[in-house]
Structure 1
Amino acid sequence: MNPIFKTVSSSDISISQLMLPSHSNFSGKIHGGYILSLLDQIAFACASKFSGNYCVTASVDTVNFLNPIEVGELVTMKASVNYVGKSSMIIGIRVEAENIQTGQIKHCNSSYFTMVAKDKDGVNIPVPGLILSQKKDVRRFINCIKQIALKKEQNIHEEEFDYSSEESIESLKNYNIKLELK
């Protein structure tokens, strides 16, 4: 166990960027892929700031696109460490878009990235422990524990589930598919 502990607030980071026409998709909204790129950048910055080391993206656990972002809006991303393991951290990111003419702000995206700290040789390295000093910190940490448990359960299910059984094949009849096994 790492003897160093840091507060959640010590990991807080935010970035703001004006959305340009070059960031838009064919429907005139900001392209989701562009937002994903920014999310990965802020997750890296947050994890590296907290751990004091280079970090890599291990997984993108959740990306919920809630509202479209328009060209000309000011997008602000706020990130913090929500959970720490031995060398991993789960970074929570909130994305808001502000209409700079009206001042109206909307919540556009919530995302969770798992980042892993690495040493100069690319080997996993321990991260500081997390000091939970507010109720929201505790809530976020517990939610991450639940998400990790669900992820583990899904992995076990993938390994143990027999997809070729008659029961499995029969369960597919209620879906919009045409089964043509050879």
Structure 2
Amino acid sequence: MEPKRARESLSVTSVHVLPNDTNNHGTFFGGKLMMYVDNIAAISATRHARSLVVTASIDSVDFLRPIFAGSSVCLEAFVTWSHHTSMEVFVKIIDENMTTGERNLCTTCFLTFVAINENSQPIPVPKVIPENEEEQLLYSSAEKRYLNRKTRRQETKQFTSKLTLRKPWE
């Protein structure tokens, strides 16, 4: 399988934040933003793998700046690194004041996707070739994030195995 350049998976979209997209503070609903994040990341992962993909994890998302109604939100995503069947996708969220043109980085996050076949079985994905400085920075630190996710997943499995499932009426 031939490796692919990170830029080959680049996906970019913009969304106009309308009043019905905001909470009682007049800022963009975090959950709605996360829907856009997952969508753009899935497009990037699909471009890289050229197969069906599923979201395996979303790393922590720290909202650095509020996004207000009337803003435009630009989401940029690309695959930074791959393992055997999984891919790390980096998403950058930038807001733009539509009247002044001022742009600010609001948050970044990493998502992990797994490529699957028509039977929902994991399949191999191409390696990533980083080219520019940002891609190389993300690529060089990706394996450490991968190992942290693996540890976190094991800890989550251990923790959730101890939880009980109750029916709401009990």
| Same-fold call, TM cutoff 0.5 | yes
Deviations 1:31-77 (A, max 9, x none): 10000000010011110011101111000113121100000101000
Query: Aligned partner of 1:118: which letter?
Result: I
Residues matched between the structures, number: 159
User: CA separation of 1:79/1:157 partners in 2, compared to 1, >3 Å: closer, same or farther?
Assistant: closer
Hey, what does 2:85 align to over in structure 1?
87
Q: Percent identity at matched positions? A: 28
The whole-number CA distance in structure 2 between the counterparts of 1:109 and 1:54 is 27
| Rg larger in structure | 1
User: CA separation of 1:69/1:55 partners in 2, compared to 1, >3 Å: closer, same or farther?
Assistant: same
Query: Aligned partner of 2:14: which letter?
Result: S
Unaligned 5+ segments in structure 2 are 159-170
The answer on whether the counterparts of 1:62 and 1:113 sit within 8 Å (CA) in structure 2 is no
Normalised by the size of structure 2, how large is the TM-score? 0.86
Query: Aligned partner of 1:134: which letter?
Result: N
User: CA separation of 1:129/1:100 partners in 2, compared to 1, >3 Å: closer, same or farther?
Assistant: same
Hey, what does 1:46 align to over in structure 2?
44
The answer on whether the counterparts of 1:117 and 1:126 sit within 8 Å (CA) in structure 2 is yes
Hey, what does 2:99 align to over in structure 1?
101
Normalised by the size of structure 1, how large is the TM-score? 0.81
User: CA separation of 1:158/1:106 partners in 2, compared to 1, >3 Å: closer, same or farther?
Assistant: closer
Hey, what does 2:111 align to over in structure 1?
113
Task: Report the aligned-residue RMSD.
Answer: 1.9
Q: Secondary structure at the match of 2:62?
A: strand
Q: Secondary structure at the match of 1:97?
A: strand
Hey, what does 1:24 align to over in structure 2?
22
The whole-number CA distance in structure 1 between the counterparts of 2:149 and 2:103 is 33
Hey, what does 2:69 align to over in structure 1?
71
Hey, what does 1:7 align to over in structure 2?
5
The whole-number CA distance in structure 2 between the counterparts of 1:152 and 1:13 is 26
The whole-number CA distance in structure 2 between the counterparts of 1:10 and 1:113 is 17
The answer on whether the counterparts of 2:80 and 2:130 sit within 8 Å (CA) in structure 1 is no
Hey, what does 1:171 align to over in structure 2?
none
The answer on whether the counterparts of 2:81 and 2:127 sit within 8 Å (CA) in structure 1 is no
Unaligned 5+ segments in structure 1 are 161-182
The whole-number CA distance in structure 2 between the counterparts of 1:46 and 1:138 is 17
